[in-house]
Amino acid sequence: MKIVQENLAELEKMVQMKTRQLNDPKVVASVSEIINNVIENGDQALKDYEKKFDNVDIDNFKLDQKVIDEAYDNLDEDVKNALFLAKKNITSFHKKELEDGFMDSEQKGVLRGQKLVPLEKVGLYVPGGTAAYPSTIMMSALPAKIAGVDQVVIVTPPQKDGINPAVLAAAKIAGVDAIYQVGGAQAIAALAYGTESVPRVDKIVGPGNIFVATAKKQVFGQVAIDMVAGPSEIGIIADDSADPRQLAADLLSQAEHDKLARPILVTDSLKLAKAVSENVDSQLKVLPREEIATASVNNKGFIAVVEKIDDMFTLMNTVAPEHLEIQLEDPTQYLNQIRNAGSVFLGKYASEPLGDYVAGPNHILPTGGTARFSSPLGVYDFVKRTSFIQYTKPALEKEAKSITTLARVEGLEGHARAIESRFGKYYD
C-alpha cells in the first residue's frame, strides 16, 4: 500500500483532488434515456431493461409473499438470529432520533407551531450485484417504519436463481410492505414516476452503482432522495499503540466492496505505516475478493504520515470519510476534534464492520467528502415539517403596519392589501 510523506498543505490538496465529483457524460446521457423510456413505456420498458442488463425475463415485478415467507422459514437460524439482533439494536438506536413538534403562544392572540408528518411512501434501493445486502434493508426500512411511513417498498435487481433468501428474510423482519424485482436506473425511474406495477413514492433511499446514483440525481425534485452515494470509504487515524494487522484488516474490509472504494490511514508513525502496508499486501493474497480489494488499494488507497496528532485530524477532516476509526489511546478524548465523518468508531474493538451490521447506528452514510454537509440516514429522513400560524384580530392589527410596510418595500402591493382587507380597507 502506498505511503505518502508530504507537508500537510500538500496532503490536503491531494485529498481534495481525489474527492472531486465528476459526472460521466455517457452515463448521464444513458440514464436520461432510461428514465424517459420508463416514463413513456412503464412496465414494458422495465421488462426490456431487465432482459438486457440482468438477462432475466420478468412477468410479475412484485414478488409473491409466499416466496418471501418461504425464504424466511427456511433461513439458517444463525442468520435469522443475527438479523433479529441487528433489528433490536438498530431499532433501539433510531428510536432515540424521534422528534416532537412544538406549539407556542408567547404573544397574546398568537399561536405558532410546527408538526412532524411521516412520509406516505418510501422506496428502498437494495443492490444485488456482486454481493447481497440484507443489512442495507434493516438500515433503511427500520428507521422508515419507526418514523411512521405508511408504505415501505423495495426495488432490487432480479437474479436468475432468485433473490438471495437472506435479503427476503430481512425484508420480512424489517416490516417491508412489498418487494419489486427491478434494478438499476430503471428501478429509480419507476419509483420516481410510477408504472403499472411499481408505485410512485415520495422518497428514494439506499446505495447503488454509478447508474443508480446518477438516476437519483436526475429524478431529484420529482421525488426526494437521501443522498448520492459513492463507493465505500474508510479512514483510520492511528499511532504506534495500534495493531498493524488489525488496521490492515479494517482497511480491506472496505476495499473489498468496490474497485473504487477508498481506504486511507493517517498516522504520525512511519514504522506503523510500513507495517500496515506490509500487512495489507500479505492479507490481500488470501482475501476471497482479492481482485476488487487490490484495485481499490492500488487506485484509491494510501497511508499518509504526518508530524503530529493534530495534523491527523486536520487531514482526516479534509477527507471527510464515510467511516472513521480512531485507533489512539483513550480515543473518546478526540471526539470533538472530528468535524467531518459519517460514522466514527472509537478504539481497537470498534472495528468498522461492527457498524455495518449490528451496533445500531446507520450504515447508509455520506461518501465522497459529502460528510462535510450531510448526515447518516435516520428517522429524520422520513418525516417532513409543516408549520402553522393562528392570529386573533387584535394580534394581527398590532403587526399589520410592519407587514404592509415590508410588502410595499418588496413591490408586492397585493400582499399589503390582503392584510388591510382584514380591517375593512378594500381597493375595489
Q: Which residues are catalytic?
A: 322-323
Q: Which residues pair with 48 in a beta bridge?
A: none
> How far is residue 139's CA from residue 357's CA, in Å, rounded to a whole number?
9
| Rg of the Cα atoms in the chain | 25
> How far is residue 201's CA from residue 190's CA, in Å, rounded to a whole number?
9
DSSP 233-260: EEEEEE-TTS-HHHHHHHHHHHHTT-TT
The terminus-to-terminus CA distance of the chain in angstroms comes to: 79
Other Cβ atoms within 10 Å of 229 Cβ, number? 25
Query: Which 3-state string (H, E, C) describes 194-230?
Result: CCCCCCCCCEEECCCCHHHHHHHHHHECCEEECCCCC
DSSP helix/strand/coil, 352: helix
Cβ 158 vs Cβ 54: under 8 Å: yes
Amino acid at position 123, single letter? G
> How far is residue 187's CA from residue 124's CA, in Å, rounded to a whole number?
10
Question: Cell numbers of 268, please?
Answer: 504520525
